[in-house]
Amino acid sequence: MADLNTGLLRGRVALVTGAGSGIGRSTCVAMAREGASLVLADINEAGAAETLSLIQQDGAPGHHLPLRLDVTDEAAVDAVLREVQRHFGRPADIVVNSAGIMGPVAFLLDLDVKAMREAYTINVEGTFIVMRAFARALKEAQRGGAVVNLSSVGKLACFPKRGHYAATKGAVSVLTQTASREWAPLGIRVNAVLPGMVDTPMTQNGAPPGVREEAIKSMTSLGRMAKPEEIAEVIVFLASDRSSYMTGAEVPVSGGIFGAI
């Protein structure tokens, strides 16, 4: 990726869930390069620590705080928001809800309801719990801010064997749209990114080596999977003042997946 650093997030505090891998990790690195101080939240403490190490190796400015977080635990989310307030002396300015799971690769007829429930709990309830706690903290402090949620083009394409995942991402989109209207008077913008197929640990399961890549070539205009860094750059834009007139937007970052099918 080209070095596009312009200090877009200088002086901002950003809470990123799912910071220990994939899009969440790349978002943390990109935001740190743009001057943000990061709260690297992940249920995998080792993954968050590794992300922090990558930021430090990169030499980006800012002060960063890795924290363990189960996004489905309301008490834990509230505790993290209190720690952010204590540590930085104010609430976070930005939250990126990147924590999520794909779940099993299965037709709906074969899908275990437990798998559906787990995907919903993490992807939908987790996103809701974090964004609500974030907005409450900003409202109390009388500050504005930005939420960026991770939805998916899968909720539009409805690929077979991914129905449970697509359903949860559709719900995230509805949460995004509703919150964007309810929270606009508070000065809180809420947008979503809809990635296509991204080369992350979450998408590396479910297909033999090479099969996934060949399918993507035939489905996308650009003929390849996205790098997580390419999704992160769009997230940075939506979190920054460069997108100050955007709220309720859903931005596909798919390599032209619909232009090729």
Q: Can you give the pLDDT at residue 4?
A: 54
Q: How many CB atoms lie within 10 A of CB 90?
A: 13
Q: Can you give the pLDDT at residue 61?
A: 74
Residue in 43, 60, 123, 165 annotated catalytic? 165
Q: What are phi and psi of 168, to 5 degrees?
A: -70, -35
CA 201 to CA 203: how far, in whole Å? 6
Q: What are phi and psi of 215, to 5 degrees?
A: -65, -40
Name the pLDDT band for 256 (thresholds 50, 70, 90): confident
The whole-number average pLDDT for the span 229-248 is 98
- What Å distances lie between residue 218 and 40, 156, 212, 222, 223, CA to CA? 36, 18, 10, 9, 7
Of 59, 58, 57, 14, the C-alpha closest to 39 is: 14
CA 206 to CA 203: how far, in whole Å? 8
Name the pLDDT band for 261 (thresholds 50, 70, 90): very low
* pLDDT > 50? residue 1: no
Q: State yes or no: is 120 an active-site residue.
A: no
Percentage of the chain lying above the pLDDT 70 cut: 92
Q: Scan for tokens 């009388």, then name that residue.
A: 142
Kindly give, in sequence order, each residue whose CB lies less than 8 Å from that of residue 187, ignoring residues fewer than 6 positions away.
138, 143, 144, 145
Burial (0-12, 13-18, 19+ Cβ within 10 Å), 227: middle
CA 190 to CA 119: how far, in whole Å? 22
Cβ–Cβ < 8 Å for 63, 37: yes
pLDDT digits (tens, 9 = 90+) for 111-150: 999 999 999 999 999 999 999 999 999 999 999 999 999 9
Domains in the chain (CATH in brackets) are 13-199+206-253 (3.40.50.720)
Cβ–Cβ < 8 Å for 235, 30: yes
pLDDT digits (tens, 9 = 90+) for 61-98: 779 999 999 999 999 999 999 999 999 999 999 999 99
Lowest-confidence range among 27-36, 61-70, 214-223? 214-223
* pLDDT > 90? residue 197: no
- What Å distances lie between residue 156 and 6, 166, 196, CA to CA? 33, 8, 10
Q: Can you give the pLDDT at residue 157?
A: 80
Average pLDDT, the chain: 91
CA 36 remoteness from chain centre: 16
**Angle (deg, nearest 10), helices 126-141 and 163-183:** 10
Give pTM, 2 decimals: 0.91
